[in-house]
Structure 1
Amino acid sequence: MITILLACYNGKEYLPAQLDSILTQNTQAAFSVLIRDDGSTDGSWEVLEDYAGRYPERITLLPKTQPTGSAKGNFFALLDAVGEKELCRPGDYLMFSDQDDVWLPDKVERTLALMEQTQGSPAVPALVHGNLKVVDKDLKVLNPSFFAFQGISPQRCSLTNLLVQNCITGCTMMINQPLFALADKTPPECAMHDWWLGLLAACFGKIGYTIEPLMLYRQHGDNSVGAKDIRDLSFYTHKLSQKEQIQKNYREMFAQAEFLCREYEDKLSDQQKEILQAWYTIPKLGRFGKARRILQYGFTKNTWLRTLGQFFSI
């Protein structure tokens, strides 16, 4: 069984297209959709109730609870619900959905095939993800490759690489039951749910990816994260103008690494613990010490401009 976790907040305008693209998947695999709304005020709840009423065998809408206030909080709450409802047993899988995209008709089938190829054995923790087509609010293609658009290198998925830069887009992600079982501890501070799951997979299992697009990633004014063209100068000027946000991001990156090292100490190898400690203790070093540590352990990003920016941000 595949359970698709859909996190919603004020997504009324685009929810029907997203849900329809999931419900009409061309697959023989059994799947269901678990939805959590994070306190929408735009009528999203009524749309979700309508779909849950029309497709009771496919859709489960969680009762209203205290809003988490963030996309990552919403997804972590969904993961908690999966555990409480025992929806991910051996042989089961989880997928993740935003509220405003459109899945290509064979997304589930292709992602499942990639998972089976990547994990090898169902007992091995595994995560797979893929590319996306970037589209505007009317689904006109802006770029056929999200990886190229954002300058993402999906092959950079070692622990060292993932500590400094996430290459996994959550809405294309599938995880298996062994990885879900490992994710029973949620760090108080972390960047995003997909990043955290990626770190666990890098430490204890396997990560697979496809460069072929699995879905349409809709760009519009209300995106929680959004995508920006790496070739555009505004990509870098925007980054420079977000000093406080960048510093917050790095605090979360160091915090999730420290949490991983502490809470999973008995499962980590000595080398993994050394890498984690080398990363999260960087803020204690002086400017020269930070630069030396980054180069010594290869804590570099996938472009020299991003790495240069990191030198001045940490």
Structure 2
Amino acid sequence: MEKTVKVSVIMLAYNIENYIEIAIKGVLSQKTDYPVELIIGEDRSTDRTYEICKRYQEKYPELITVIRHEKNLGYQRNYMETYKHCRGEYVAVCDGDDYWFDRRKLQRATDFLDTHSQFAICFHRVVNYYEEDGSKSLSNGHQRKITTISDLAESNYITNSSSVFRRCYYPEMPEWFAKFTSCDYALHLLNAQHGNIYYFGKPMAVYRKHSKGIWSETGMDRRLDIALTTREFLLDYFKDRRTDVYNGLRQAHANICLNLIRYYISSGQPQRIEEAEQRLLKYQPQWTLNDVKRQETLRPRQAGKRIKAQIGKMLTWGRETVSRYIPLPRVNTEI
């Protein structure tokens, strides 16, 4: 009798021929006492990405399914269409330009979720790898072990390729997810309505930051706009459902708006400044335009804060320099 798939792994792939193979190997190398499936959403790449995915599907047909769309759908639609093919009790995400190097990552996550029904999501620390200069860092400094949806509303601290969550809450992603790019953050927030979030401090994956990444190819103003759009949909969703979540999202929205306004000020775009101000005031009706303008101007740092910031920069430079000589974790390729 065929065993039921316990974990479905989503992997999105588009023009990442230099990265996709190690991502696939990281999933295949997982040691679990249950079946796993890998669903690859291949979004009509123009390089060798599909060829590589197809080769692995033919080699491991019982484990890998490659979904190739008839046309390029973009990140959010690709995510949604790939998600529809998941059969597992749990869903894990590994973006095609990241990879897992800990062979027991999935087993650790499901062992925890199996025995802690009050948790909806778990995630873990990752190694951030900055390809441009070869430096590395660890994510989630000072991260608390247990957090809630209220914490997640204030900021997104979950690296996508580290997350594992229960599929039962949303067997299919809501159609309104197609309207914005950061559907992963929105899905985590929806899932977190049903339980707490657990953090493993052990690094188990590499998160690449490179020029071909979605965020890397997007300008600062566009990135901030995407973050705002995502939160505006979520604000409308949670307004009459969770006051604490709504307030957390509202504060995050205001901070992002102010950063966007400061960007427009520095780049000399007065019309954009006015648009962003009105966008902010929509969700902060207790503020006046003068309140907004007062906060737009960054206050000069006090001497003590400037010294602290300077020391922080020196420490960061030292970490970056040393990290270039530390090799990246490897995937055990003995599959």
**Normalising by the residue count of structure 2, what TM-score does the alignment of the two structures yield?**
0.66
CA distance in 1, matches of 2:7, 2:222: 39
- The letter for the 2-side match of 1:225 is W
Q: How does 1:145-294 map onto structure 2 within 5 Å?
A: 145-148=138-141, 153=143, 157-181=147-171, 183-225=173-215, 242-261=220-239, 268=241, 283-284=281-282, 285=285, 286-287=288-289
Superimposed CA distance per residue, residues 92-126 of structure 1 (whole angstroms, 9 cap, x where no aligned partner): 11111111222122221222233234xx23xx571
Task: Show the counterpart of 2:104.
Answer: 106
Task: Show the counterpart of 1:142.
Answer: 135
How far did 1:79 drift? 1.7
Q: Which runs of 5 or more structure 2 residues have no equivalent in the other structure?
A: 1-5, 254-278, 294-308, 310-335
Task: Show the counterpart of 2:269.
Answer: none
SS at match of 1:178: coil
- The letter for the 1-side match of 2:140 is F
Segment of structure 1 superposing worse, 158-167 or 211-220 = 158-167
Aligned residue pair count: 259
Q: Say if 2:126 is the partner of 1:132.
A: yes
CA distance in 2, matches of 1:125, 1:179: 12
How far did 1:206 drift? 1.8
How far did 1:212 drift? 1.3
How far did 1:290 drift? 6.6
Segment of structure 1 superposing worse, 199-208 or 28-37 = 199-208
Distance 1:169 1:73, change over 3 A: farther
CA distance in 2, matches of 1:253, 1:164: 10
Paired-residue identity, %: 18
How far did 1:34 drift? 0.7
CA distance in 1, matches of 2:126, 2:252: 30
Q: Say if 2:42 is the partner of 1:42.
A: no
CA distance in 1, matches of 2:12, 2:143: 26
Kept in 2: contact 1:154–1:167 (CA 8 A): no
CA distance in 2, matches of 1:271, 1:101: 33
CA distance in 1, matches of 2:29, 2:144: 28
CA distance in 1, matches of 2:188, 2:163: 10
Task: Show the counterpart of 2:57.
Answer: 52
Distance 1:157 1:66, change over 3 A: farther
Kept in 1: contact 2:181–2:226 (CA 8 A): no
SS at match of 1:249: helix
CA distance in 1, matches of 2:158, 2:127: 15
Q: Which runs of 5 or more structure 1 residues have no equivalent in the other structure?
A: 227-238, 292-304, 306-314
Kept in 2: contact 1:3–1:93 (CA 8 A): yes
Q: Say if 2:49 is the partner of 1:65.
A: no
- The letter for the 2-side match of 1:74 is N
SS at match of 2:17: coil
Distance 1:269 1:257, change over 3 A: closer
